[in-house]
Amino acid sequence: MSSTTISQSRALTADPRRAGPRLQRLAACLGVCLLLGACSNADLYSQLSERQANELIAALQSAGIMADKRSKDSRAWTVRVGQADFVRAIDTLRSEGLPRDDFESLGRVFRKEGFVSTPLEERARLIYGLSQELSNTLSSIDGVVVARVHLAVPERDPLADRPRSASASVMVKHRPGVDMSQHIGQIKALVVNSVEGLSYDHVTVSLFAAQDFTRNAAQPPVAQPMATGVAPAGLALGAGGVALGAAVAAAFGVLGGLRRRSRRDAR
Protein backbone atom coordinates (compact mmCIF):
# COMPACT_ATOMS: atom_id res chain seq x y z
CA MET A 1 0.00 0.00 0.00
CA SER A 2 1.38 3.47 -0.91
CA SER A 3 2.11 6.20 1.63
CA THR A 4 -0.59 8.41 0.07
CA THR A 5 -3.27 5.75 0.57
CA ILE A 6 -2.12 5.14 4.18
CA SER A 7 -2.26 8.85 5.00
CA GLN A 8 -5.75 9.17 3.48
CA SER A 9 -6.99 6.19 5.51
CA ARG A 10 -5.57 7.72 8.72
CA ALA A 11 -7.19 11.04 7.92
CA LEU A 12 -10.59 9.39 7.48
CA THR A 13 -10.22 7.55 10.79
CA ALA A 14 -9.01 10.58 12.72
CA ASP A 15 -11.77 12.93 11.51
CA PRO A 16 -15.06 11.11 10.76
CA ARG A 17 -16.68 14.37 9.60
CA ARG A 18 -14.37 14.42 6.59
CA ALA A 19 -15.30 10.86 5.70
CA GLY A 20 -18.87 11.69 4.68
CA PRO A 21 -18.27 13.42 1.33
CA ARG A 22 -15.43 11.07 0.45
CA LEU A 23 -17.51 7.98 1.14
CA GLN A 24 -20.36 9.45 -0.88
CA ARG A 25 -18.03 9.82 -3.85
CA LEU A 26 -16.67 6.34 -3.23
CA ALA A 27 -20.16 4.84 -3.12
CA ALA A 28 -21.13 6.65 -6.33
CA CYS A 29 -18.01 5.42 -8.17
CA LEU A 30 -18.55 1.89 -6.90
CA GLY A 31 -22.16 1.95 -8.02
CA VAL A 32 -21.28 3.17 -11.51
CA CYS A 33 -18.55 0.52 -11.91
CA LEU A 34 -20.83 -2.30 -10.80
CA LEU A 35 -23.66 -1.03 -12.97
CA LEU A 36 -21.44 -0.99 -16.04
CA GLY A 37 -20.23 -4.51 -15.24
CA ALA A 38 -23.77 -5.78 -14.75
CA CYS A 39 -24.95 -4.25 -18.03
CA SER A 40 -22.09 -5.62 -20.11
CA ASN A 41 -23.19 -8.08 -22.76
CA ALA A 42 -21.48 -11.13 -24.20
CA ASP A 43 -21.73 -12.29 -27.81
CA LEU A 44 -23.73 -15.52 -27.89
CA TYR A 45 -23.74 -16.33 -31.62
CA SER A 46 -22.54 -14.37 -34.63
CA GLN A 47 -22.70 -14.64 -38.42
CA LEU A 48 -26.42 -15.39 -38.22
CA SER A 49 -29.16 -14.52 -40.67
CA GLU A 50 -31.86 -12.19 -39.38
CA ARG A 51 -34.34 -15.09 -39.26
CA GLN A 52 -31.95 -17.13 -37.12
CA ALA A 53 -31.29 -14.16 -34.82
CA ASN A 54 -35.01 -13.56 -34.34
CA GLU A 55 -35.57 -17.25 -33.52
CA LEU A 56 -32.84 -17.14 -30.87
CA ILE A 57 -34.18 -13.95 -29.28
CA ALA A 58 -37.74 -15.32 -29.20
CA ALA A 59 -36.59 -18.54 -27.50
CA LEU A 60 -34.46 -16.68 -24.96
CA GLN A 61 -37.17 -14.19 -24.05
CA SER A 62 -39.66 -17.05 -23.61
CA ALA A 63 -37.21 -18.48 -21.05
CA GLY A 64 -36.95 -15.16 -19.21
CA ILE A 65 -33.56 -14.16 -20.66
CA MET A 66 -33.21 -10.71 -22.17
CA ALA A 67 -31.25 -10.61 -25.45
CA ASP A 68 -30.58 -8.22 -28.28
CA LYS A 69 -29.19 -8.41 -31.81
CA ARG A 70 -26.76 -6.23 -33.71
CA SER A 71 -25.52 -6.05 -37.27
CA LYS A 72 -23.09 -3.82 -39.13
CA ASP A 73 -24.36 -4.58 -42.61
CA SER A 74 -27.89 -6.03 -42.03
CA ARG A 75 -26.61 -9.37 -43.34
CA ALA A 76 -24.60 -11.02 -40.58
CA TRP A 77 -26.26 -10.67 -37.17
CA THR A 78 -24.90 -11.16 -33.65
CA VAL A 79 -27.10 -12.14 -30.69
CA ARG A 80 -25.94 -10.96 -27.25
CA VAL A 81 -27.04 -11.60 -23.67
CA GLY A 82 -25.93 -10.37 -20.27
CA GLN A 83 -22.84 -11.93 -18.72
CA ALA A 84 -24.90 -13.36 -15.85
CA ASP A 85 -27.28 -15.14 -18.25
CA PHE A 86 -24.66 -16.54 -20.66
CA VAL A 87 -24.58 -20.14 -19.39
CA ARG A 88 -28.36 -20.42 -19.03
CA ALA A 89 -28.81 -18.96 -22.51
CA ILE A 90 -26.52 -21.62 -24.03
CA ASP A 91 -28.41 -24.41 -22.24
CA THR A 92 -31.77 -23.00 -23.32
CA LEU A 93 -30.81 -22.73 -26.98
CA ARG A 94 -29.28 -26.21 -26.94
CA SER A 95 -32.53 -27.68 -25.63
CA GLU A 96 -34.40 -25.88 -28.41
CA GLY A 97 -32.00 -27.05 -31.12
CA LEU A 98 -31.04 -23.48 -31.97
CA PRO A 99 -29.56 -22.07 -34.05
CA ARG A 100 -30.89 -24.47 -36.65
CA ASP A 101 -28.52 -25.93 -39.21
CA ASP A 102 -28.65 -24.91 -42.84
CA PHE A 103 -29.28 -28.13 -44.74
CA GLU A 104 -27.96 -28.74 -48.21
CA SER A 105 -30.40 -29.41 -51.04
CA LEU A 106 -29.82 -31.79 -53.94
CA GLY A 107 -29.69 -28.78 -56.24
CA ARG A 108 -26.80 -27.27 -54.30
CA VAL A 109 -25.01 -30.60 -53.90
CA PHE A 110 -25.13 -31.28 -57.65
CA ARG A 111 -24.51 -27.74 -58.85
CA LYS A 112 -22.43 -27.49 -61.98
CA GLU A 113 -18.72 -26.96 -61.49
CA GLY A 114 -15.72 -26.84 -63.74
CA PHE A 115 -14.43 -30.35 -63.00
CA VAL A 116 -15.99 -33.63 -64.07
CA SER A 117 -17.00 -35.79 -61.09
CA THR A 118 -16.21 -39.48 -60.90
CA PRO A 119 -19.02 -42.04 -60.40
CA LEU A 120 -17.87 -42.52 -56.79
CA GLU A 121 -18.12 -38.79 -56.10
CA GLU A 122 -21.54 -38.61 -57.73
CA ARG A 123 -22.78 -41.49 -55.57
CA ALA A 124 -21.40 -39.94 -52.39
CA ARG A 125 -23.06 -36.64 -53.25
CA LEU A 126 -26.38 -38.37 -53.87
CA ILE A 127 -26.33 -40.13 -50.50
CA TYR A 128 -25.30 -36.93 -48.72
CA GLY A 129 -27.95 -34.88 -50.50
CA LEU A 130 -30.68 -37.39 -49.65
CA SER A 131 -29.64 -37.38 -45.99
CA GLN A 132 -29.74 -33.58 -45.90
CA GLU A 133 -33.14 -33.39 -47.59
CA LEU A 134 -34.66 -35.97 -45.24
CA SER A 135 -33.15 -34.32 -42.16
CA ASN A 136 -34.57 -30.98 -43.23
CA THR A 137 -38.02 -32.49 -43.82
CA LEU A 138 -38.13 -34.24 -40.44
CA SER A 139 -36.89 -31.12 -38.65
CA SER A 140 -39.93 -29.21 -39.92
CA ILE A 141 -42.38 -31.52 -38.12
CA ASP A 142 -44.10 -29.89 -35.15
CA GLY A 143 -42.45 -30.90 -31.87
CA VAL A 144 -39.13 -31.91 -33.44
CA VAL A 145 -36.06 -30.02 -32.20
CA VAL A 146 -33.32 -31.78 -34.19
CA ALA A 147 -33.50 -34.58 -36.75
CA ARG A 148 -30.70 -36.48 -38.48
CA VAL A 149 -30.87 -39.22 -41.10
CA HIS A 150 -27.89 -41.48 -41.81
CA LEU A 151 -28.07 -43.62 -44.94
CA ALA A 152 -26.04 -46.69 -45.79
CA VAL A 153 -26.55 -47.51 -49.46
CA PRO A 154 -24.22 -50.30 -50.65
CA GLU A 155 -22.83 -50.18 -54.14
CA ARG A 156 -24.56 -52.52 -56.54
CA ASP A 157 -22.64 -55.63 -57.55
CA PRO A 158 -23.91 -57.09 -60.84
CA LEU A 159 -22.26 -60.47 -60.05
CA ALA A 160 -23.93 -60.89 -56.65
CA ASP A 161 -26.77 -63.39 -56.33
CA ARG A 162 -28.76 -61.10 -54.06
CA PRO A 163 -28.22 -57.34 -53.89
CA ARG A 164 -27.45 -56.00 -50.45
CA SER A 165 -30.25 -53.95 -48.92
CA ALA A 166 -29.84 -50.34 -47.98
CA SER A 167 -30.42 -49.21 -44.40
CA ALA A 168 -31.21 -45.99 -42.61
CA SER A 169 -30.85 -44.71 -39.06
CA VAL A 170 -33.00 -41.78 -37.94
CA MET A 171 -32.40 -39.72 -34.79
CA VAL A 172 -35.17 -37.42 -33.61
CA LYS A 173 -34.76 -35.07 -30.66
CA HIS A 174 -38.17 -33.72 -29.67
CA ARG A 175 -39.58 -31.22 -27.21
CA PRO A 176 -40.32 -32.39 -23.66
CA GLY A 177 -43.87 -33.60 -23.22
CA VAL A 178 -44.37 -34.33 -26.93
CA ASP A 179 -45.18 -37.97 -27.75
CA MET A 180 -43.40 -38.74 -31.01
CA SER A 181 -43.77 -42.52 -30.71
CA GLN A 182 -47.09 -42.38 -32.54
CA HIS A 183 -45.30 -40.93 -35.58
CA ILE A 184 -42.60 -43.61 -35.91
CA GLY A 185 -44.51 -45.40 -38.66
CA GLN A 186 -44.94 -42.21 -40.64
CA ILE A 187 -41.27 -41.32 -40.24
CA LYS A 188 -40.23 -44.76 -41.49
CA ALA A 189 -42.58 -44.53 -44.47
CA LEU A 190 -41.23 -41.12 -45.40
CA VAL A 191 -37.63 -42.39 -45.39
CA VAL A 192 -38.43 -45.66 -47.19
CA ASN A 193 -40.25 -43.90 -50.02
CA SER A 194 -37.35 -41.47 -50.49
CA VAL A 195 -34.50 -43.98 -50.92
CA GLU A 196 -34.40 -46.55 -53.69
CA GLY A 197 -33.94 -50.14 -52.52
CA LEU A 198 -34.69 -49.36 -48.86
CA SER A 199 -37.15 -51.64 -47.04
CA TYR A 200 -39.32 -50.73 -44.08
CA ASP A 201 -37.62 -53.26 -41.77
CA HIS A 202 -34.19 -51.72 -42.39
CA VAL A 203 -35.11 -48.32 -40.98
CA THR A 204 -34.39 -47.58 -37.31
CA VAL A 205 -35.92 -44.57 -35.56
CA SER A 206 -34.50 -43.42 -32.21
CA LEU A 207 -36.39 -40.82 -30.17
CA PHE A 208 -34.83 -38.58 -27.52
CA ALA A 209 -36.59 -35.98 -25.36
CA ALA A 210 -34.79 -32.66 -25.01
CA GLN A 211 -34.02 -31.44 -21.51
CA ASP A 212 -36.36 -28.69 -20.34
CA PHE A 213 -34.27 -25.73 -19.16
CA THR A 214 -37.25 -23.36 -19.09
CA ARG A 215 -39.23 -25.16 -16.38
CA ASN A 216 -37.92 -23.00 -13.54
CA ALA A 217 -37.30 -19.93 -15.65
CA ALA A 218 -38.61 -16.55 -14.65
CA GLN A 219 -41.59 -14.90 -16.30
CA PRO A 220 -40.82 -13.69 -19.83
CA PRO A 221 -39.68 -10.06 -19.89
CA VAL A 222 -41.57 -7.36 -21.73
CA ALA A 223 -40.26 -7.24 -25.28
CA GLN A 224 -38.36 -4.07 -26.15
CA PRO A 225 -38.65 -2.54 -29.64
CA MET A 226 -35.39 -2.87 -31.53
CA ALA A 227 -33.99 -0.78 -34.33
CA THR A 228 -31.63 -2.24 -36.85
CA GLY A 229 -28.14 -2.44 -35.34
CA VAL A 230 -29.20 -0.79 -32.06
CA ALA A 231 -29.37 -2.58 -28.74
CA PRO A 232 -32.45 -2.06 -26.49
CA ALA A 233 -32.09 0.34 -23.60
CA GLY A 234 -33.38 -2.05 -20.96
CA LEU A 235 -31.20 -5.10 -20.30
CA ALA A 236 -31.56 -7.73 -17.63
CA LEU A 237 -29.07 -7.05 -14.85
CA GLY A 238 -29.31 -10.55 -13.36
CA ALA A 239 -26.89 -11.28 -10.57
CA GLY A 240 -25.00 -8.05 -11.28
CA GLY A 241 -27.99 -6.02 -10.11
CA VAL A 242 -28.06 -7.87 -6.79
CA ALA A 243 -24.34 -7.27 -6.29
CA LEU A 244 -24.79 -3.60 -7.12
CA GLY A 245 -27.54 -3.14 -4.55
CA ALA A 246 -25.58 -4.97 -1.84
CA ALA A 247 -22.39 -2.96 -2.47
CA VAL A 248 -24.16 0.41 -2.45
CA ALA A 249 -26.12 -0.52 0.68
CA ALA A 250 -22.90 -1.51 2.45
CA ALA A 251 -21.17 1.73 1.45
CA PHE A 252 -24.01 3.89 2.74
CA GLY A 253 -24.17 1.79 5.90
CA VAL A 254 -20.55 2.63 6.64
CA LEU A 255 -21.28 6.26 5.82
CA GLY A 256 -24.18 6.31 8.29
CA GLY A 257 -22.01 4.79 11.02
CA LEU A 258 -19.34 7.42 10.58
CA ARG A 259 -21.91 10.20 10.69
CA ARG A 260 -23.34 8.90 13.98
CA ARG A 261 -19.80 8.71 15.39
CA SER A 262 -19.18 12.29 14.27
CA ARG A 263 -22.30 13.49 16.10
CA ARG A 264 -21.25 11.72 19.31
CA ASP A 265 -17.79 13.29 19.15
CA ALA A 266 -19.33 16.72 18.59
CA ARG A 267 -21.34 16.36 21.79
Residue 133: C-alpha distances to residues 127, 147, 190 (Å): 10, 11, 11
The residues, any chain, with a CB within 8 Å of residue 62's CB and separated by 6 or more, are 214, 220
Whether the full predicted model's pTM is greater than 0.85, yes or no, is no
The residues, any chain, with a CB within 8 Å of residue 252's CB and separated by 6 or more, are 27
| pLDDT tens, residue by residue, 159-193 | 777 778 899 999 999 988 899 999 999 999 999 99
- Could you give the strand order of the β-sheet that contains 166-174, starting from the edge strand earlier in sequence? 144-152, 166-174, 198-209
Cα–Cα dist 132/128, whole Å? 6
Residue 149: C-alpha distances to residues 38, 202, 255 (Å): 43, 13, 66
> Residue 177 gets which letter from DSSP?
T
Residue 188: C-alpha distances to residues 25, 69, 184 (Å): 70, 39, 6
Give pLDDT tens digits along the chain (267 positions): 455 544 554 544 445 455 556 656 665 666 655 555 555 789 999 999 888 899 899 989 999 999 999 998 888 999 999 999 999 999 989 888 888 877 776 666 666 565 677 888 888 888 999 999 999 999 999 999 999 999 999 887 777 777 788 999 999 999 888 999 999 999 999 999 999 889 999 999 999 998 876 555 544 444 444 433 333 333 334 444 555 555 555 555 655 665 666 566 665
232: cis peptide before it, omega within 30°? no
